[in-house]
Amino acid sequence: MLDLRKLLAPSRTASAHCDIPCGIYDPHGAELGARTVTKMVSLIQEAQEGTDPESRQTFVRCVKVKEEHAEIVKRELQILWSDYFKPEHLERYPDLHEKVWKALKLASKNKQSIDATAARDLEAAVAEIARIFWETKGGQPATKAA
Amino acid sequence: MNGIARLVASWRARVALTGHSMSPTLRDGDWVLVDPDAYRLRSPTPGELVVADSSAGPVVKRVAERLDPTSLLLAGDAPSGGGHHHEVVLAVSTVSGRPWFRYWPPGRIGRVR
């Protein structure tokens, strides 16, 4: 039986652990949130011209989605900040706290306002934190790099 | 022939599962065949099992939601609780296959979905 087990045993393991205590972190959630904020700002600006009920509804829904995703960006960044990044990362990237803090502030600004520049700034700030994240991981997995 | 090719490819991509977030569908210590071509021509849809290459290595999860064309919200089958969160957002491009058959332990051999 032992030999059969050896013969059949997989050479690789896949984790079905929960993310936070077990170390599955990814900046993709924050990046997606920031992209969604930008997209919503653009749709809001298009919809604000219309006065018919359909345009009003689109406007309200886009505002709601924008605010939700600004909040998602904050939550995802806070998870990376509090649970993933470690003192050795801060030694390598001394401005990491400043960058995360500014990105969180930008997310709040985007939640409060309809501002295409602020949305682009948020995307850039999140992209920079994602870059640092992947550098600390030694690069993105091959399937992500494409 | 297609079936045999799929079996061979799935055997090569087989994984041993660790952790409890996919319980009761998949349990810690299960060995499963993974079809690496299942999502080659299409993207996984909500409810389907996936193996994805996360920053912490391969993970097995279920697609909870397609967030946008490039992103999936993946979740475990076991209920979250006690500070454990089974959900993670990953790029569609990280998906590397579909677990479809448990071949170990002998008492639990069978299709998984």
Cα A98 to its chain centre, rounded Å, is: 17
What distance in Å separates residue A145's CA from the closest CA in chain B? 9
Taking an 8 Å cut-off on Cβ atoms, the answer to whether A20 and B83 are in contact is: yes
* B88/A16 touch (CB, cutoff 8 Å), yes or no: no
Per-residue pLDDT at A140 exceeds 80: no
Tokens of B80: 């979250």
d(CA A20, CA A36): 24
Residue B14 banded pLDDT, cuts 50, 70, 90: very high
CB–CB of B14 and A10 under 8 A?
yes
**Using one digit for the tens of pLDDT, what is the confidence trace for B52-104?**
998 778 999 999 998 888 889 898 888 765 444 567 888 999 999 999 999 99
Among the partner residues B57, B94, B103, nearest to A143 by beta-carbon distance: B94
* Burial zone of B92 (CB within 10 Å; 0-12 exposed, 13-18 middle, 19+ buried): buried
Evaluate whether ipTM surpasses 0.90.
Answer: no
Is the pLDDT at A67 greater than 80? The verdict is: yes
Q: Which residues of B touch A141 (CB under 8 A)?
A: 53-55, 94
Name the residue facing A26 among B16, B58, B88 (closest C-beta): B88
- Residues A22-37, mean pLDDT to the nearest whole number: 86
Q: Report the range out of A25-39, A44-58, B78-92 with the highest average pLDDT.
A: A25-39
Q: Do A16 and B19 touch (CB under 8 A)?
A: yes
CA distances from B14 to A7, A64, B25, B63, B106 (A): 13, 43, 17, 19, 16
Average pLDDT, stretch A93-97? 97
Q: Which residues of B touch A28 (CB under 8 A)?
A: 71, 89-91
Residues of chain B with Cβ-Cβ distance to A20 below 8 Å are 83-85
Query: Across A72-86, A104-118, B9-23, B58-72, which has the greatest mean pLDDT?
Result: A104-118
pLDDT at B4: 92
- Report which listed range, A41-50, A71-80, B74-83, is most confident: A71-80
Which residues of chain A lie closer than 8 angstroms to B71, CB-CB? 28-29, 32
Can you tell me the distance from the alpha carbon of B101 to that of B113, in angstroms, rounded to the nearest whole number?
A: 8
pLDDT at A15: 85
- Mean pLDDT, to the nearest integer, of A8-23? 73
> Quick check: A38 and A121 in contact, CB under 8 A?
no
Backbone angles phi, psi at B95, to 5 degrees: -70, 125
Average pLDDT of the segment spanning A92-119: 97
Give percent above pLDDT 90 in chain A: 66
Confidence class for position A105, pLDDT limits 50, 70, 90: very high
User: Quick one: average pLDDT of A11-35?
Assistant: 79
pLDDT of B38 over the 50 cut = yes
Q: What residues contact B11, with CB distance under 8 A and at least 6 apart?
A: B33
In chain B, residues with a C-beta closer than 8 Å to the C-beta of A68 are none
Confidence check: pLDDT of B1 > 60: no
Angle at which helices A116-136 and A53-79 cross, to 10°: 30
- List the beta bridge partners of residue B58: B53
* Closest partner CB to B84 (pick from A8, A21, A76): A21
Higher pLDDT, B4 or A24: B4
